[in-house]
Amino acid sequence: MLENKVGMIFGVANKRSIAWACAASCAAEGAKLAFTYQGERLKENVEKLAAELPGSLVVPCDVTNQAEVDAAFAAVGEKYGKLDFVVHSIAFAPKEALEGEFVTTTREAFTTALEISAFSLTQIALAASPLMIEGGSIVTMTYYGAEKVVMNYNVMGVAKAALEASTRYLAADLGKQNIRVNAISAGPINTLSARGVKGMGSLLGYVAERSPLKRNVQASEVGNTALFLVSDMSSGITGETIYVDCGYNIMGV
């Protein structure tokens, strides 16, 4: 499905990362992949995982460093000459902002969360579009806490709301270049970032009990939806937020 397609994957921290599940689904369908990592701490992890997919590229990219973002896209342009899709799977908020009351969120925590978790999508879309010479697809990861209050999710919910709105505005701007932009709203999954949100364990149980499918979603199911969204199978879909949450979001009382 993705033969001769080149993708860039942002947000692999380890093998549990949603980004890694997206990479595995896309690589299985023939995509060539470039991985980015944030800081030396994660370099070895990402290089080890990427080695499982021969021919992939690994480049540093902390989104708070514009020079690193520019260099990462330049490296992709140099190696592959084009880019077909991007999976944006990064988010961050200081740990103390992900517990207690939202009303105590500091200016610094708010700015950091919004910059890394929401603005980075626009930053990456702008850098990616010149390389998407045959059109393209950009997929980001969001969460239900963008629309409804989820205990302890706090400023990250506000960042995800901005991310979902950014998805629509970017889709409107980039559609004329045949670049599609969509978000996947994933149900809770036990990853490194998720463990930073207080009470994640009980949230997993709560959602599994109440969702129509009576379980939590698996990262591979999010990966397969990302595959659909970056492939031509979804050529008529842009600006959407698609739920991959075992149906949890449809439930009322």
* Contact window for ligand NAP (CB under 6 A) among 79-87, 93-101, 123-131, 190-198: 190-198
* Contact window for ligand NAP (CB under 6 A) among 8-16, 73-81, 128-136, 168-176: 8-16
Question: Which listed residue (189, 227, 230, 246) binds ligand NAP by CB under 6 A?
Answer: 189
Should residue 11 be labelled a site residue for ligand NAP when binding is judged by CB under 6 A? Answer: yes
Site for ligand NAP in 101-120 (CB under 6 A): 116
If DSSP states are collapsed to H, E and C, what string results for 79-136? Answer: HHCCCCEEEECCCCCCHHHHCCCHHHCCHHHHHHHHHHHHHHHHHHHHHHHHHCECEE
Dist CA 221 CA 227 (whole Å): 10
Six-digit token string for 192: 């490194």
Phi, psi of 235 (to 5 degrees): -60, -20
Residues catalogued as catalytic: 143, 153
The minimum distance between CB 215 and ligand NAP, in angstroms, equals 14
* Residues ≥6 apart with Cβ < 8 Å to 214: 208, 246
Site for ligand NAP in 62-91 (CB under 6 A): 62-64, 89-91
Should residue 143 be labelled a site residue for ligand NAP when binding is judged by CB under 6 A? Answer: yes
Q: Report whether 225 contacts 242 (CB < 8 A).
A: yes
Question: Which listed residue (141, 181, 227, 246) binds ligand NAP by CB under 6 A?
Answer: 141
Cα 202 → chain centroid: 23
Dist CA 29 CA 16 (whole Å): 20
Should residue 243 be labelled a site residue for ligand NAP when binding is judged by CB under 6 A? Answer: no
Name the site residues for ligand NAP (rule: CB under 6 A). 11-13, 17-19, 38-39, 42, 62-64, 89-92, 116, 141-143, 186, 188-189, 191-194
